[in-house]
């Protein structure tokens, strides 16, 4: 198994998995257990991003990382929008453990203004959108710089989503294959 748990003390991040709560676009929890996993290659890239963010005076908040294939189906069945969700028949980089949804926090724990919230499925969420405040544009560029220097690729439609390059080379992983299951029993 190439997935590892992202947790303190090895990773100095704020983990707030949106899909383990009703604070997501479905208005319902998807995960029964809020466990943050990433493929070991993605975890190495995350450590580099954490170090750079800290050097600049920021912390990272993770909204989602590894997402079991079963969860991808739940999200797709709720909102089958290929501009914002990967069709589970093709597989999501999240379901391979090589994608992460995140934002930046100040050293005081305040969320930086990114122009939209996480999972806002609108054109305002696109990288480079100029219909948001200049501060939000600058914050997105700071996040983009931190993540790309650490080895992550970005998804043009979602300011919060980053994935490893060539993500399809990693296998899809289901909930039954991970050490502690995330999904509720079927």
Helices (H), the chain: 40-55, 69-78, 134-149
pTM for this one?
Answer: 0.96
CATH architecture of 3-177: 2-Layer Sandwich (3.30)
Q: Where are the beta strands (DSSP E) in 92-184?
A: 99-106, 152-155, 158-164
Nearest residue to 30 via CA among 39, 16, 42, 20: 20
Mind listing the pLDDT tens digit of every residue in the chain (186 residues)?
699 999 999 999 999 999 999 999 999 999 999 999 999 999 999 999 999 999 999 999 999 999 999 999 999 999 999 988 999 999 999 999 999 999 999 999 999 999 999 999 999 999 999 999 999 999 999 999 999 999 999 999 999 999 999 999 999 999 999 999 999 987
Give the model's pLDDT for residue 52: 98
Give the model's pLDDT for residue 151: 98
CA dist 121 and 26 (Å) reads 12
Nearest residue to 79 via CA among 36, 129, 120: 120
Q: 158 an active-site residue?
A: yes
Give the model's pLDDT for residue 1: 65
Q: Are strands 99-106 and 58-64 parallel, antiparallel or unpaired?
A: antiparallel
Give the model's pLDDT for residue 139: 98
CA dist 58 and 111 (Å) reads 10
List 41, 51, 158, 177, catalytic entry: 158
Domain borders along the chain are 3-177
């Amino acid at each position: 198994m190439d997935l590892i748990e992202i947790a303190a003390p090895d990773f100095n991040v704020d983990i707030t998995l949106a899909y383990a709560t009703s604070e997501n676009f479905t208005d319902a929890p998807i995960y029964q257990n809020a466990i943050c996993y990433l493929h070991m290659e993605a975890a190495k890239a995350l450590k580099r991003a954490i170090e750079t963010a800290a050097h600049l005076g920021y912390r990272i908040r993770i909204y989602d990382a590894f997402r079991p294939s079963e969860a991808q189906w739940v999200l797709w069945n709720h909102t089958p929008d290929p501009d914002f969700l990967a069709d589970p028949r093709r597989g999501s980089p999240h379901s391979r453990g090589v994608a992460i949804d995140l934002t930046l926090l100040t050293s005081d724990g305040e969320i930086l203004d990114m122009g939209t919230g996480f999972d806002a499925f609108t054109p305002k969420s696109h990288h480079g959108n100029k219909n948001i405040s200049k501060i939000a544009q600058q914050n997105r560029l700071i996040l983009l710089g931190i993540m790309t220097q650490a080895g992550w690729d970005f998804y043009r439609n979602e300011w919060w989503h980053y994935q490893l390059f060539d993500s399809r080379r990693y296998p899809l992983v289901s909930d039954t294959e991970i050490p502690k299951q995330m999904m509720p029993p079927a």
